[in-house]
Each structure stands twice: as C-alpha cells, then as structure tokens.
Chains A and B, each alone.
Chain A
Amino acid sequence: MELNNIEPIIEALLFTSGDPLSLERIAEVIETDKKTARLIMNNLILNYNEKERGIMIREINNAYQLCTRPEYFQYISKLFEPRHKQALSQAAYETLAIVAYKQPVTRAKIEQIRGVNSDSAINRLLEKNLIKEGGRMDAPGKPIYYVTTDEFLRSFGFKSLSDLPLPAINDLKELNEEEAYE
C-alpha cells in the first residue's frame, strides 16, 4: 500500500463508518501496526485543521469520527432548524463533574461531596447515557460504581478521560493536594 494513498483511504473509511471508528480497526484495514496508524491519524487531523475544512476529525477514546466544525453551526442552523435540546440541571452538571473526576464513584460519595441527595441527577445522567454503571464496590450492600461513557466524551468535546481539564483554582491548591486530578 502506498503511503500517500493511506490518508484518502482512511478518509473514505471514516465517511462510510459514520460512527466512531477505532484505531484497531483502521490499523487492520490499512495493514499497519497501531502506532503507525496513530501517526497517520494525527497527521490527517492536522491536515484537516490546517486546511480549515468544514469537516473535522474528532478523536474519542481511541476512535475517530467525522463531524462538522463547531464554527459553522450558524450556517447549518440556517439550513435546518436545529431541535432544541433540553439542558441538564445544575445538579446534573455537578454530579457529572464528580463522576468524571472521581470515577468509579458510588452514589454515597457523590452525595457526600454535594451535601445533598443526588438520585434524580444520577438517573437523569443515566437516562442521557452520559454515565453508566461500572461494577460494584466490594463493601456492604455492594453499592454501584458509576463511570462516564464515550457519549460523555463526545458531548463535552474530550478525547479521553486524560483530556479532562485541570481547573485552576489557585487559592484552593494546598488543601486537596492528595486528591489531585489524575
């Protein structure tokens, strides 16, 4: 396979797939190892960004997906009337933030941090497929662990969990050093 052929091939694969296409699958099709495939993908993403195309390639948990660029939203909304998505409640955002950084995390831990019952927030997040159950804690009652989903990464624009922002809360640093974000 010619190296300069590979990028168009991947482009075609991503277009056909629509859904996120994992790095493994891509490597399989273009018959390289994953490391090479990743280098090619990085280059392809760079190309897309440099040329300022209307389409970009997103990386979500070691998979790749084509999507429109956010900055062209206004034109898309001229063409189609976007449906209004119902926003999450403040409680749900807070709960999601806790799950994202503390996962796997139990309901009790979430409520301890928020200082308030979080059942409805958790249910809403489960319903929206932003979090899911990820096993059970080995403790009395076997409480459910919650973890975030790929849908969470996609909806909030993260490549992976290691891509989560490290918020600069300068004046709060000293106290929570041992719980520094991963």
Chain B
Amino acid sequence: MESSLTNACILKIENFEGPFDLLFHLLEKNKINIYDIPISEITDQYMDYLYAMKSLDIEIASEFLLMASTLLHIKSKMLLPSKKEKEDEEEKDPREELVARLIEYKKFKAISEIFKEKEVQWNRVYYKLPEAVEIQREDEILNLSPETLVSMYENILNKYKNRMNTGTSNKMVQILKVEKVSLRLKMKEIIKTLKNRVYVGFFEMFSLKKKSRMEVVTGFLAILELSKMKKVRLKQKKPCSEILIYKSNDSQTDDAEINENSKILNYYT
C-alpha cells in the first residue's frame, strides 16, 4: 500500500490493543455512525492497515486476521442479493453482530478510562501500618492434674532417650549403615496392616519411640501418597492430634500399582 498511509500509521499501529481498537480508530477518523457502518469502505481501510503493518514488518496478531476475514465475510454477504422467504420477515443485517461486539468493547474501554482517573486520585492517599500491640494477656489457668505433668515429663524423657547416643563415648562400635527405607515398602506395610483392621493410628505404626526419623518421615509420605491414590482415608480430630488411617472402600490395592506410584517418589527416600 502507498506511503502516505504507511507513514501515517507508523507510530499508531503498535498502540492498538486489538482489532476492535483499530476499527474504532477507523470509525472515529471517518466520523462514521456505528449503527450504519459502510462496511466496504471500512474493510478496505482495515486491510490497508494490515498491509501497512506487513510492509513495516510488524508481526500481525492472528486476531487482526480473524477480524479481516469477518469484515470480508460481512462485505460479501451484503453484496449478495437477499433472499427473503417471507415478505414480512425482516432481513437480519449482517453487521449486527459485529456492531454489538464493538459496542460491548467500547463500553469497557470507556470504563477503563474512568478507572484510570479514579486510580490517579486514590493513589494520592496514604495509610498507616498496623500497630504491634503488646498487651499482656492474663494467665490462663489450665485444668490439669499433677499426674498429667508427670506423664508429660516422662514422655519427653522417652522421646529424647532415643535421640541420645548412649555408650558411644569410649569407642566407635560400628560404622553407620545406610538405612534402607523405601516409600514403596512403607506403603505396602500400611496396606498390609489395614488388611485386618478398620483403621490404624499413625503413631501406632510410626512413632519416634520405635522407629527411626527416616522411617517416620517416609511413613508420613506413604500415607499422603496412599491417600492421593484414594487407597486410604486420613482423619485428624484436631491439629497435632493423632492421624488415623482408615481403609478406603477402594482398597483392593495391588503391588504393581504401588510400585508404579512410588517410582517417582522413591527419589526422596
């Protein structure tokens, strides 16, 4: 296409948000009433812009091409003689749908201008950060017996006993072995345990008193994985209480399935 137009739109083209934006620009430029678009003219001008864009080596978004074909389609429809089946039936204007969409778009474009103004205004206000209020709460009296305290204390002692290295102060007894804990085995273990029972507590199977840290962590991953596979259902009455592992209805688990599912996760263990 010729240069006057090419030059005219060099700066403009990239600012079009999309085909609607370009169409509006054309309508405004030609002072066209949106309800009566001279489709042939507009199509020509629209195509001119596309050619100009092409000659400027701007990649034309597919949406622009789609609109071009829509315009051409409407244009061809309007050229064809209308075939009225009934006399009183009103001919549907092929432009109607396009106009409706243009108007819808224009509406939101207008709103976006209002938003911009509002934003400028409300960008000019400042807020205050919340205060870090430090008010001493009154001590809460817990209704617990001394026996509970004793048993809690024992619990803690037991917990730490397992963690302590006892009897290693004199000499190294043995070289540490790599513990072989696999997710697959843990999953099988859980399924096996559930075969004869309705549910089992997590701590019952994997407590730090009985098992190593590695095993407990792997056990936890195993119940998550099983629950994801919908082989078990997990219940916990409140945060930090025991997790109960229930057999799910669909617990016909075969080993192959477990093998398959734990393949990826084995990486962690």
Bound together: yes
Q: Which of A17, A73, A91, A101 contacts B111 (CB 8 A)?
A: A101
B61 CB to closest chain A CB, in angstroms? 7
- Grouping DSSP codes into helix (H, G, I), strand (E, B) and loop, the B interface class, with mixed when no group exceeds half, is helix
A98 within 8 A of B: yes
B116 — which chain A residues lie within 8 A by C-beta?
93
Q: Tell me how many residue pairs across A and B have CB atoms closer than 8 Å.
A: 115
For A19, A96, A97, A167, the residue with the greatest tally of chain B CB atoms inside 10 Å of its CB is A97
A5 within 8 A of B: no
For A91, A113, A117, A175, the residue with the greatest tally of chain B CB atoms inside 10 Å of its CB is A175
Cβ contact within 8 Å between B63 and A115? yes
Cβ contact within 8 Å between B125 and A67? yes
Cβ proximity bits A65-80 to B, threshold 8 Å, 1 near / 0 not? 1111110010010000
A: number of interface residues (CB 8 Å): 43
B17 within 8 A of A: yes
Cβ contact within 8 Å between A115 and B112? no
A4 within 8 A of B: no
Cβ proximity bits A121-150 to B, threshold 8 Å, 1 near / 0 not? 000000000000000000000000000000
- Grouping DSSP codes into helix (H, G, I), strand (E, B) and loop, the A interface class, with mixed when no group exceeds half, is helix
Known A169-B107, A176-B104; contact A67-B127, beta-carbon cutoff 8 A: yes
B172 — which chain A residues lie within 8 A by C-beta?
none
A17 CB to closest chain B CB, in angstroms? 6
Cβ contact within 8 Å between B111 and A97? yes
Tell me the bound Cα distance from A107 to B180 in angstroms. Answer: 49
B109 within 8 A of A: yes
B29 — which chain A residues lie within 8 A by C-beta?
none
B199 within 8 A of A: no
A residues 30-73 touching B (CB-CB < 8 Å): 56, 58, 65-70, 73
Cβ proximity bits B88-120 to A, threshold 8 Å, 1 near / 0 not? 000000000001110111111111111110110
Q: Which one, B128-136, B160-168, B253-261, is touching chain A?
A: B128-136
A residues with CB within 8 A of B = 15-19, 56, 58, 65-70, 73, 76, 85, 90-91, 93-94, 96-98, 100-101, 113-117, 154-158, 165, 167, 169, 171-172, 175-176, 179
